[in-house]
Amino acid sequence: MIFRLSDFQFPDSAARLYPATQGHPWVLEVGFGDGRFWPHFARTFAAPPNYLGVEISGVSLLKAHRRLQGAGLDNAVLTKLPADVLVREVVPHGALDLIVVNFPDPWPKAGHTEHRLLRAPFFQLAASRLKPGGALLLTTDHDEYFEFACAEAEASGVMAVDTAQAPPPAALETKYALKWRDLGLGVNHARFTPTAHPPVPHGAVAAYPADLAPLPESAVPHAVLTLPKTFDPTHFEKQTVRAGRATVVLLDLYASLRRDGWVALAHVVEGELTQEVLVGVTAREDGSHLVRLAKFGGPIITPGVKAAVGAVTDWLEGQGAVIRHRGY
């Protein structure tokens, strides 16, 4: 099943995601590509573990989804998100039996190492979400990234590093494993085992009530205001607002063709979580205007998203609007 971020709870639970296979081990695969690992690996268990797969490529998501459906692997949840967002926001503490990372993007150029996934903060996050006895498995052709990841795991202070074991055979059947094998390259494998389970907190979404769906209309961030007769939307300029951990960039303001309002496009960054949201400004029958988060795109209502509604409201106030009500 494919999940969008807004389909999850924050944090979610294996019992909710896999009601028919509760109690099975829970495996997360990061960067599953075209999804070849899981059908091979799942076959090595008497009953397939519950599977959570995260990818940032939409094309890969669809390919892998087709493959897992074809293999009859029903207890699988696939999602298109950056891995650190999924792990931080969705995965509960001490919940996973295994995290698998096969052939991660190596970011080989000097100065690009900050793009690598397997850095100390990710190992701390992973350790916090793994069960006691759980492990993170890395298989890669890339010698330099392998050494980098092992050093980062040591530096995290919460992972023991074991490089003596062979990779699971399924990790040698992925698209990239076959590609590098054809080129005659070898593989490196490490098993990272938590030595501590640091309480790395859930992020921006968890600051909002745990069960987000569906929100009553009154809880959708909004404001009611009266615009001055002189209001001129062409005065809008791109602006950046900081609110707590969030940065909100109001990018643009678009007029509705019905000529009764506008829509502001906002970029909201909270830690690793980034959302593009629309905030509508719509005329009401009594002459006032309603400023409200649009449901388009299924935004997750975080403190930063509320701040985006606040930023639009504040800008309108700066243009002479009289605020009647703030509901955010």
Annotation: binding site: 29, 55, 105, 109, 141
d(CA 33, CA 175): 8
Q: How far is CA 299 from the centre of its chain?
A: 12
C-alpha triplet 180, 183, 185: angle, nearest 5°: 60
End-to-end CA distance of the chain: 33
| Least Å from the CB of residue 143 to ligand SAM | 15
| Least Å from the CB of residue 166 to ligand SAM | 16
Closest to ligand SAM by CB, 116 vs 245, is 116
Residue 174 is a binding residue for ligand SAM (CB under 6 A): yes
The answer to whether residue 74 is catalytic is no
d(CA 263, CA 293): 9
Closest to ligand SAM by CB, 31 vs 303, is 31
Residue 104 is a binding residue for ligand SAM (CB under 6 A): yes
Closest to ligand SAM by CB, 21 vs 79, is 79
Residue 105 is a binding residue for ligand SAM (CB under 6 A): yes
Residue 83 is a binding residue for ligand SAM (CB under 6 A): yes
Residue 103 is a binding residue for ligand SAM (CB under 6 A): yes
For the chain, how are helix, strand and coil distributed in percent, rounded to 5?
Answer: 30, 30, 40
Query: Which of these is catalytic: 34, 74, 84, 105?
Result: 105
d(CA 27, CA 130): 10
Residues annotated within the binding site for S-adenosyl-L-methionine are 29, 55, 105
| Least Å from the CB of residue 175 to ligand SAM | 4
> Residues 260-299 vs ligand SAM: string with x where CB under 6 A?
----------------------------------------
Residues 6+ apart with CB under 8 A from 169: 40
Closest to ligand SAM by CB, 32 vs 192, is 32
DSSP 284-320: -TTS-EEEEE--TT-----HHHHHHHHHHHHHHHHTT
Q: Which of 114, 14, 99, 12 is nearest to 53 (CA)?
A: 99
Residue 175 is a binding residue for ligand SAM (CB under 6 A): yes
Closest to ligand SAM by CB, 107 vs 208, is 107
| Least Å from the CB of residue 127 to ligand SAM | 18
Please name the amino acid found at residue 192: F
Residue 192 is a binding residue for ligand SAM (CB under 6 A): no
Residue pair 81/2 in contact by the 8 Å Cβ criterion: no
| Least Å from the CB of residue 19 to ligand SAM | 26
- Considering only residues 10-49, where is the footprint of ligand SAM by CB under 6 A? 30-33
Q: By CB under 6 A, which span of 54-62, 64-72, 145-153, 197-205 interacts with ligand SAM?
A: 54-62
Residue 55 is a binding residue for ligand SAM (CB under 6 A): yes
DSSP 31-97: S-TTS-HHHHHHTTSSSPPEEEEEES-HHHHHHHHHHHHHTT--SEEEEES-HHHHHHHTSPTT-EE
Pairing label, strands 96-102, 26-30: parallel
Which position's Cβ is nearest ligand SAM? 31
**Residue 175: exposure state from Cβ atoms within 10 A (0-12, 13-18, ≥19):** middle
Q: Which residues bind ligand SAM (CB under 6 A)?
A: 30-33, 54-57, 60, 82-83, 102-105, 117, 174-177
User: Which amino acids are annotated catalytic?
Assistant: 105
